[in-house]
Amino acid sequence: MNQPLTEYKQAIIIGASPIGNEAGQLVALLKWAGYGPQDENCDHDCTTCHTGCAGKTIKKDIYLIAADGGLDFLLKNKMMPDFFIGDMDSFAGEYDELSSEEKKKKIPANIPHEIVPVEKDDTDMGLAVANAYEKGYREILLYGGYGGARVSHTLANIQLMSCYAKKGCRICMMGEGIRMEILWKSCKKFSSAMKGNLSVICLSDYAEGVIIRGLKYEYEGRLTSDHALGVSNSFIGQDAEISVQEGTLLLVYER
């Protein structure tokens, strides 16, 4: 068996919104991280292993949080999170007629959890991110935070990503072939293998010193929040980069 070579530290948070075509990728990622049933015949020889737990040579520090209804996805896939937090308004959706106390009994006893009031000053996802941040995680993957019937929660999660980018925390929100992340006073480089479309949206009133290189449309200058100049760019098979000296950009990847 190979010895651990690389440290992989990341929090993964799963919310209540539909995960859609990202579900298979997410299940594979979680199995690789050691969650859920593994191949009973696995000998941890990663040179021959092709199951979901491939990659055991990597030292992994994964922290999995279910934000309210995100626990439904995990339980259906026979996985237990490291922590559950929520107000019980979206968990156990098939039992909507049950009270919060009755739903609470459906949380497996071995899952550490915190039940919060429905009337509060933050979202379940916001509380989940705060929990991961307090535990020292600065790389966060967020599933089940995009789309669904309540677009307000998608917008709130973009605000959340922007807030934590200014604290040095990188959050990527995944969903339905889309990935979003925030660029704040920094630079992002891309390899020539990247494919698909990339939109650069200014979230702050303005963003100064914006440089877009290696994409179909290159740009250097200022972006503002009231002009969609950076929408619908695309990768063209060469190394690329986006940087901003002052301000906040939302990067939206669409396959």
CATH of the domain at 137: 3.40.50.10240
Measured in whole angstroms, the distance separating CA 241 from the mean position of its chain's CA atoms is 21
Q: In terms of domains, do 245 and 136 share one? A: no
pLDDT score, position 98: 61
The C-alpha angle with vertex 136 and arms to 1 and 129, in degrees rounded to 5, equals: 110
pLDDT score, position 62: 93
pLDDT score, position 195: 93
- Contact by Cβ (8 Å): 184, 232: no
The DSSP string of 1-14 is -PPP--EEEEEEEE
Rounded distance between C-alpha atoms, residue 142 and residue 65, angstroms: 10
What value does the mean pLDDT take over residues 63-73? Answer: 94
Residue 2 lies in a domain: no
Cα separation values, 153 from 87, 150, 175, Å: 15, 6, 13
What value does the mean pLDDT take over residues 93-118? Answer: 75
pLDDT score, position 50: 45
- Contact by Cβ (8 Å): 248, 183: yes
Summarised one tens digit per residue, pLDDT across range 191-233 is: 999 999 999 999 999 999 999 999 999 999 999 999 999 999 9
pLDDT score, position 227: 94
Q: In terms of domains, do 99 and 38 share one? A: yes
Residue 231 lies in a domain: yes
pLDDT score, position 36: 85
What are the structure tokens assigned to 105, written together? 């009994």
What value does the mean pLDDT take over residues 81-106? Answer: 74
Residue 94 is given by DSSP the state: G
Band the pLDDT of 255: cuts 50, 70, 90.
Answer: confident
Q: In terms of domains, do 56 and 91 share one? A: yes
pLDDT score, position 40: 63
Q: In terms of domains, do 157 and 209 share one? A: no
pLDDT score, position 51: 46
Number of structural domains in the chain: 2
Q: In terms of domains, do 165 and 215 share one? A: no
Q: In terms of domains, do 58 and 148 share one? A: yes
Rounded distance between C-alpha atoms, residue 187 and residue 191, angstroms: 14
Q: In terms of domains, do 122 and 234 share one? A: no
Q: In terms of domains, do 72 and 195 share one? A: no
pLDDT score, position 87: 85
Q: In terms of domains, do 153 and 242 share one? A: no
Residue 24 lies in a domain: yes
Q: In terms of domains, do 96 and 201 share one? A: no
pLDDT score, position 150: 76
Residue 164 lies in a domain: yes
Band the pLDDT of 190: cuts 50, 70, 90.
Answer: very high
Mean pLDDT score of the chain: 87
What are the structure tokens assigned to 122, written together? 């933050």
Rounded distance between C-alpha atoms, residue 8 and residue 214, angstroms: 29
- pLDDT of 160 over the 80 cut: yes
**The last residue of a domain, from among 141, 176, 211:** 176
**The last residue of a domain, from among 155, 176, 197:** 176
CATH of the domain at 230: 2.60.120.320
What are the structure tokens assigned to 174, written together? 């995944």
Instruction: State which H helix or E strand residue 62 sits in.
Output: strand 59-67
- Contact by Cβ (8 Å): 243, 210: yes
Residue 103 lies in a domain: yes
- pLDDT of 13 over the 80 cut: yes
- Contact by Cβ (8 Å): 11, 137: yes
Question: Of 122, 83, 119, whose CA–CA distance to 100 is shortest?
Answer: 119
Domain of residue 205 covers 184-254
Q: In terms of domains, do 77 and 138 share one? A: yes
Rounded distance between C-alpha atoms, residue 24 and residue 131, angstroms: 26
Rounded distance between C-alpha atoms, residue 10 and residue 140, angstroms: 6
Residue 207 lies in a domain: yes
Measured in whole angstroms, the distance separating CA 195 from the mean position of its chain's CA atoms is 20
**The last residue of a domain, from among 176, 193, 219:** 176
Residue 25 lies in a domain: yes
Residue 1 lies in a domain: no
Q: In terms of domains, do 77 and 148 share one? A: yes
- pLDDT of 53 over the 60 cut: no
Q: Which residue has the tokens 């690389």?
A: 6
Percentage, residues of the chain above pLDDT 90: 62
Question: Of 76, 98, 77, whose CA–CA distance to 89 is shortest?
Answer: 98
